[in-house]
Amino acid sequence: MSLGVKHLFLLILVVAFTVFPLYYKRGAEFGGADDRVETVITAINPHYQPWCAPLWEPPSGEIESLLFAVQAAAGSGFVFYYLGYLKGRKNKE
Amino acid sequence: MSRRWAKLLSFLILFGMLLPPPAYAMHIMEGFLPAKWCLFWYALAFPFFIWGLLAIKKRVSGEPGLKMLLGLAGAFTFVLSALKLPSVTGSCSHPTGVGLGAILFGPASMSVLGAIVLLFQALLLAHGGLTTLGANTFSMAVVGPFVAYGVYRAFARLRPAWAVFAAAALGDLLTYVATSFQLALAFPQQGSVIAPFLKFCGVFAVTQVPLALSEGLLTVVVFNLLVRYGRSELGLLGILPEEAKADVAGR
């Protein structure tokens, strides 16, 4: 099995791991709001109050997703720039 | 190999059936750790950060190629921690991506890169927090990388690709077990940390299982590409798998 085929198989598996929960827990909220952790904490200690708030919060979900997209794009941009550089260097040898 | 996958999958599905109700899993939020614990984890994480700075300096000085590779390790963490993925608990979390860098540059180096990523997310995304940065750095950038590095070292000789997979997946998973432990220490129930630890694990660690598997697979893909195209760099770091070395000699 060539490396490309092997990797295609691995990547399909990653997609499967990601899609499976969507099917298995269909109807769930799939929220990422960290403040839900609060419910677990208040169940243990009902008197606990967060004593500090973030300095700045993205004003909306759109802005937040923009920043996450920028983070992912910048990261993957460098990852693939570097992998492409290595491949080009190897091909030149 | 296919039987192993089948076992793994059936284990996952069984695990999924025992799951607690939906919960939300990520780093510890701003203000959600009492001040004394914030200080405690800052104090524990700090030496690793300094150790990491020294380790990076020693490793990459005079080797521009390794600086690029270090950039790759950082960028990989950056991408993976931006990907919020759905999980079998009906909530979302994100992988950490620290396993790759820990395998390449040693665990201490990732304390620095992980802390930078966490700082970015705390400042710009209100994700994690400045007061909890020490605790989050300790779980994601100390526990995770050290677990990953240990697992890789233990199994690298047997099967390098599987060692990389296990290292990245366990580093990811144990990060969130550590987070659960940190929260349990801060919020004991009737003087015991065990019950809250299990409760937080139900929230954090269980959500992380499929994500950890995904992270393991993605790390293997990048590692394989490095073995194929970046031999000189891996050679410099002393982690070129034996079979790849033989491959080089054979040509």
Please report residues of B whose CB lies closer than 8 A to that of A41: 32, 183, 187
> Are residues B136 and B28 in contact, defined by beta-carbon separation less than 8 angstroms?
yes
| CB contact (8 A) between residue A75 and residue B76 | yes
B216 strand-pairing partners: none
Average pLDDT of the residues in A58-66 = 91
Lowest mean pLDDT of A31-35, B86-90, B176-180, name the range. A31-35
Run of H or E including A20 = helix A3-24
Which candidate from B30, B72, B127 shows the least CB-CB separation from A82? Answer: B72
Tell me which residue has tokens 């040509």: B251
How much is the ipTM here? 0.92
CB B88 within 8 A of CB B130: no
Are residues B229 and A53, on separate chains, in Cβ contact within 8 Å? no
Q: Are B204 and B179 in contact (CB under 8 A)?
A: yes
Per-residue model confidence as pLDDT tens digits over B2-35: 566 666 556 555 544 444 333 344 788 888 899 9
Q: Which of A44, A78, A89 sits opposite B189 (nearest CB)?
A: A44
Question: According to the model, what pLDDT value does residue A48 have?
Answer: 87
The whole-angstrom separation of Cα A54 and Cα B223 is 36
Say what the pTM is.
0.88
Distance of residue B213 Cα from the nearest chain A Cα, in angstroms: 8
Bridge partners (DSSP) of residue B189 are B192
Nearest to B8 by CA among B144, B145, B162: B162
CA distances from B45 to A42, B51, B60 (A): 27, 10, 22
Q: How many CB atoms lie within 10 A of CB B18?
A: 8
Contacts of A83 in chain B (CB under 8 A): 72, 222, 225, 229
Torsional class of A88: left (φ above 0), alpha (ψ -120 to 50), beta (otherwise)? alpha
Which residues in chain B are closer than 8 Å to A55, comparing Cβ atoms?
Answer: 123, 130
Contact B75 A75 (CB under 8 A): yes
Residue of A11, A51, A58 with shortest CB distance to B125: A58
B121-142 per-position pLDDT tens digit: 999 888 889 999 999 999 999 9
Phi/psi of residue B23, each to 5°?
Answer: -150, 165
